[in-house]
Amino acid sequence: MHLFTILFLLLPILIQSRQQEISLNEETPIGTVIFDLNTLSSSSITYQLLESSSLLAFNSSTNLISIAKRIDRDTLCPNDETCSKCQLTIKFYDMFYYDILLLVFNINDINDNPPIFSSNTYSISLTENNIPGIKIRLSKAEDIDCASNGVQLYELTYVLHGHVMISSINLLLKHQNHTKNQPFYLLYDSNADLYLVVNQTLDREAQNEYIFTITANDYSHTVSSKLTLTVLDVNDHIARFSQSVYSVNISYSATPGTMLLKLTAHDPDLEQNARIYYSLLSIDGSANRNDLFQINSHTGELRLVSNLTHLESKRIFKLIVGASDGSNNAIPALTTVYINIIQQSIITITFGSNRISSNGSEVFIQENLPNSTFIAYITSDKALQIFPEGNHQGFYIQKLSDNSITLLTDRSYDRELKSFYNVSIRSGDNERSFRILVTDINDCQPTWNSSLLNINIEPYLMVLTLNATDYDEGQNGKVGYRKKGSVWPKWVDLVENRLVINCTNQTDSTCWN
């Protein structure tokens, strides 16, 4: 082989890739065939699976891809209300065209989740003699479906002087339905916040309590919550947070007890009416999930209370925190806290159909296989480095991108010359390593220590142990012996690996000569 050709094979190779997008509805039944790779070519092609999701199954015999586990888009891509991007990918190495085939399954949302209020009942309070038009921020219903399948309609219903009053907001049509003389109505502003607008001056002596029903509808499901407004004589200021939205980054390895954030709200009232009490109202729209985070009601310190390692698919939590002063039924100030889970660099090694050890630290490659035999496919979320560097290390790198490569053999392995090669991988602050173990085949012939045996026979019995060597391993290296030729003297016999010469009862002079 020319030197130029050898150097070309040892260089990292950037190969071409193809991509095809397929539309797939969530909740498609398990076992459903969602794509046939045979439709991509009229020829029979073998594909090497490089990367996949546990939710999908690939049959290498039929080239069919099917659903392996339940696909719930709302769990797979949480907080993607706009349905901008939710995908499953499966990557193949095309053994015919020698390129990468990437199939991208775009997961479509269906309206399978109802809206949920964080509580079935809410209580708020407002002092009398208020200025008409005051807005009270309300907790919205959370719908984990996409925005197009989320809440489309809010409706406020209450009884005033014996008459049923209704105020509604159609989010899809951006239409608010209420009359100007209604004392209460709903408002949905440009920041997507929901408010109760008090459109008149309240008089506690005339009526000290109002009861409302707030309904949320996504055109498939309807839920309601009860809201009670109490009119007070005192405490005419409410608490306010210094920010309406907070964002905190933590890692999956954060330990319980870690303080994430110290929230601060202010109330311009004096003494007891200015004392602030903090409360965690909901986590991802649910008021019953308090096993992960906890807030100190007096200091506003938000802490982690349990490990996050069992939630590796979770990327973000949305917390609603309230702050109110010490009076009964005080109007709470609300703020949103986003807890972003930062994932450390992860190195993923796929050995394909190669046999590996139970802990993945060793991969077995048979000797005498052709050069450029597939060893492993390696990916990370950061740039990869492979050690040892340079040529003649037992492998060469086929670079797919800065953070994905394929390792191939740089020679036809000969176990009798070298039985293992070490590979180390570094990505960011993470390192992994494995060893390539070369497995044996029966490719070596036994060899004698000498091709000719000169024997001086001692009267009258002699046993010689035969010794031939086979450099193969285990059973492949075991040597057997047999007679060659049809005529052997009667006084010479072969028993396993022992040559027996017995002249005890022989009169033939050749036994001594």
198 and 129 in a common domain: yes
Is residue 364 in a domain?
yes
Q: Distance between CA atoms of 204 and 232, rounded to whole angstroms?
A: 7
Q: Which stretch, 6-20, 194-208, 363-377, has highest mean pLDDT?
A: 363-377
Helices (H) then strands (E): counts for the chain = 2, 39
The reported pLDDT for the residue numbered 3 is: 41
Read off the pLDDT of each residue in 80-90 and give the average, rounded to a whole number: 82
Instruction: Give the model confidence (pLDDT) of 276-315 as tens digits.
Output: 899 998 888 776 666 889 999 999 999 999 887 777 677 8
The pLDDT confidence band at residue 8, using thresholds 50, 70 and 90, is very low
The reported pLDDT for the residue numbered 509 is: 58
Give the DSSP H/E element, type plus range, for residue 3.
helix 3-10
127 and 40 in a common domain: no
| Containing structural domain, residue 56 | 18-108
Strand pairing class (184-188; 265-266): unpaired
Any long-range contacts for 327-330 (C-beta under 8 Å, 24+ apart)? 327/125, 327/232, 327/234, 327/235, 327/272, 327/273, 328/125, 329/123, 329/124, 329/125, 329/230, 329/232, 330/125, 330/235, 330/238, 330/239
CATH number at residue 268: 2.60.40.60
Lowest mean pLDDT of 189-203, 322-336, 401-415, name the range.
322-336
Statement: residue 379 has pLDDT above 50: yes
Q: What percent of the chain has pLDDT over 90?
A: 33
The reported pLDDT for the residue numbered 353 is: 83
45, 78, 108: which is the final residue of a domain?
108
**Maximum C-alpha span of the chain:** 143
CA 246 to chain centre: 26
Lowest mean pLDDT of 34-38, 150-154, 260-264, 306-310, name the range.
306-310
188 and 257 in a common domain: no
The reported pLDDT for the residue numbered 9 is: 46
211 and 154 in a common domain: yes
Statement: residue 10 has pLDDT above 60: no
197 and 182 in a common domain: yes
Is residue 138 in a domain?
yes
Is the full-model pTM beyond 0.85?
no
Q: Distance between CA atoms of 39 and 448, rounded to whole angstroms?
A: 58
Read off the pLDDT of each residue in 443-451 and give the average, rounded to a whole number: 73
Q: What percent of the chain has pLDDT over 70?
A: 83
Structure tokens at 196: 């109760």
CB atoms near residue 459 (< 10 Å) = 9
Instruction: Give the model confidence (pLDDT) of 410-444 as tens digits.
Output: 999 988 889 999 999 888 767 889 999 998 888 77
424, 439, 454: which is the final residue of a domain?
439
The reported pLDDT for the residue numbered 236 is: 60
287 and 267 in a common domain: yes
Statement: residue 512 has pLDDT above 60: no
Is residue 145 in a domain?
yes
**Average pLDDT over all residues of the chain:** 83
Is residue 13 in a domain?
no
Q: Distance between CA atoms of 186 and 176, rounded to whole angstroms?
A: 8
215 and 145 in a common domain: yes
142 and 89 in a common domain: no
Is residue 159 in a domain?
yes
Residue type, 139: S
The pLDDT confidence band at residue 6, using thresholds 50, 70 and 90, is very low
The residues, ordered by sequence, that sit 6+ positions from 42 with a Cβ below 8 Å of its Cβ are: none
209 and 147 in a common domain: yes
Contact present, 267 and 273 (Cβ < 8 Å): yes
334 and 271 in a common domain: yes
247 and 211 in a common domain: no
> Coil, strand or helix: which one is 268?
coil
Lowest mean pLDDT of 76-90, 139-153, 184-198, name the range.
76-90
Is residue 357 in a domain?
yes
The residues, ordered by sequence, that sit 6+ positions from 229 with a Cβ below 8 Å of its Cβ are: 124, 125, 126, 196, 198, 209, 210, 211, 212
Is residue 10 in a domain?
no
Q: What's the structural domain count of the chain?
A: 5
Q: What letters, b where the CB count within 10 A reaches 16 and e where it falls short, cover 225-262?
A: bebebbbbeebebbbebeeeebeeebeeebeeeeebbe
Residue 28 vs residue 182, higher pLDDT: 28
232, 261, 278: which is the final residue of a domain?
232
Alpha helices in 286-340 (DSSP H): none
The pLDDT confidence band at residue 5, using thresholds 50, 70 and 90, is very low
The reported pLDDT for the residue numbered 406 is: 93
Instruction: Give the model confidence (pLDDT) of 229-246 as tens digits.
Output: 998 866 666 788 989 999
Statement: residue 223 has pLDDT above 70: yes
Q: Distance between CA atoms of 425 and 410, rounded to whole angstroms?
A: 18
Statement: residue 93 has pLDDT above 90: yes
227 and 124 in a common domain: yes
Is residue 4 in a domain?
no
The reported pLDDT for the residue numbered 440 is: 85
The reported pLDDT for the residue numbered 4 is: 38
Q: Distance between CA atoms of 304 and 309, rounded to whole angstroms?
A: 13
The pLDDT confidence band at residue 11, using thresholds 50, 70 and 90, is very low
Statement: residue 263 has pLDDT above 80: yes
Statement: residue 480 has pLDDT above 60: yes
The reported pLDDT for the residue numbered 285 is: 75
